[in-house]
Amino acid sequence: MQIRPRRNRKSETIRALVRENKVSVSDFIFPLFLIEGKQSKSEVTSMPGIFRYSADLILKEIESCMKLGIFNFCVFPSLPDKRKDKIASESLNKNGVYLKTLRQIKKQFPEITLMTDVAMDPYSSDGHDGLVQNGRIVNDPTLKILSRMAVAQAECGADIIGPSDMMDGRVGVIRNALDKAGFEEVSIMSYTAKYASAFYGPFRDALDSAPKFGDKKTYQMDPANAKEALREAKLDSEEGADFLMVKPAMAYLDVIKSLNENTTLPVAAYNVSGEYAMVKAAGAKGWIDEKKVRDEILLSIKRAGAKIILTYFAKEFALDQN
C-alpha cells in the first residue's frame, strides 16, 4: 500500500478540515500611536497606513476597529521633547495626554482590552528605557520609576501592563506595586525576550524615541541567544507575569516555539514595525503579493506557538475578513 498524503490536500474543503492553525482577528492586539492636539492625524512615513492620532481621533479609530471585530489595543505615546526629562516625569502627569486619554478610552469603551506600555524611553530626554546615570543605564533605580508608571496606568483603567524596558526584576516589582495599590486583577504582559533588533527603526520614528547616545544592547537581548530567553521566561513567570512576549516575531520564530513548549503561560509575539514596513515596501514595488505574504507571516507566528499577536496589520486583516 502506498501512503498518499496528497489526499488530504485535494480540495479546499478538505484542506480546511485538516488545517492545524488558523489566524483570526481575536488573536490580535492593535498598536496605536497617540499624539497631543485636537483633530490631528499624521501618517508614519516609514509605516504606510499607520497614523499618529490625537485623543479625539484615537477614540474614533478604536470605534471603527471595534466594528471590524478588533477589541484589543496597545497605546503608545509620541511626545514632544518639551515633555521629556531625565526621570520621565511626564509618565505620571494625570493631566498629560497619555494618562488622560487612557481614562477617556476606558470610559467610552469599557468592553475593550486596553494594554499600556511601561518604559522610560517615550518620556526620557535620553531616549533610553531606563534611568541614565554617568552614561550608564542603571537597573534598580529604574524599577521605582517603572512601578509608579504602572500604577498610574492601572489607575486610568489599563487591563494589561506591558513592561518593555528589559530591566532585571521589573516584573516582580511592578506586580508588588500593583497588588499593593489594589490592582490585583491588572495583568502583566512582560516583554520577556525583547531583542536588540534592527527591526525597530520605524517605531522609533513614530515615537521619536531613539536613544540620544549609544544603543540598547546592555539591556535588550543579543539576537544570537535563544536559551537566554528561557532564563528570562522562568524569571518573569516566577515574578508574576501573566503573558510572555517575544519581540520581534519573524526572525525569532524559534524563540516563540521554545517558550511555548517550555512554559504554561500564554506566549505573545510582536510583529514589529520593521517587519510591517518591509512587506509594505515590497508590496508597493509589486515584488510580492502583499496580502498573501502578510497572511503567511501572521500564520507562521501563530504556528510557532504565539497565542497573541501584536501587529500593525490587524485592521487591514480585519477589513479583508469582512
Q: Which residue has the cell 499607520?
A: 50
pLDDT for the residue numbered 207:
64
CB-based contact 124:86 (threshold 8 Å):
yes
Which of 74, 51, 47 has the alpha carbon at shortest distance from 279? 47
pLDDT for the residue numbered 205:
73
Which of 169, 161, 148, 158 has the alpha carbon at shortest distance from 91? 148
Residue numbers of the chain with a pLDDT score lower than 50 = none
Which of 138, 136, 73 has the alpha carbon at shortest distance from 108? 73
Q: Is the omega angle on the peptide bond into residue 248 within 30 degrees of 0, that is, cis?
A: yes
Kindly list the domain boundaries of the chain, sorted by start residue. Answer: 5-195+229-321
CB-based contact 118:75 (threshold 8 Å):
no
CATH class of 5-195+229-321: alpha beta
pLDDT for the residue numbered 211:
78
pTM: 0.95
Within the chain, residue ranges assigned H as helices are 12-18, 55-66, 97-108, 139-155, 170-180, 201-207, 227-239, 253-262, 273-284, 290-304, 314-321
CB-based contact 117:57 (threshold 8 Å):
no
CB-based contact 320:273 (threshold 8 Å):
no
Q: What angle do CA 183, 90, 47 make, to 5 degrees?
A: 95
pLDDT for the residue numbered 122:
92
Strands 160-163 and 113-118, bridge-based pairing:
parallel
127-131: Cβ within 8 A, 24+ apart: 127/209, 127/210, 127/211, 127/212, 128/211, 128/212, 128/216, 129/164, 129/165, 129/166, 129/167, 129/216, 129/219, 130/165, 130/167, 130/219, 131/86, 131/87
Cα separation, 239 vs 242, whole angstroms: 10
pLDDT one-digit tens code per residue, 204-219: 777 666 777 778 999 9
pLDDT for the residue numbered 214:
75
pLDDT for the residue numbered 203:
83
Cell numbers describing residue 322:
469582512
- Considering the chain, what percentage of its residues have pLDDT values greater than 70? 99
CB-based contact 165:129 (threshold 8 Å):
yes
- Catalytic residue list: 194, 247
Phi/psi at 142 (nearest 5 deg)?
A: -65, -35
Cα separation, 243 vs 236, whole angstroms: 9
Cα separation, 36 vs 52, whole angstroms: 10
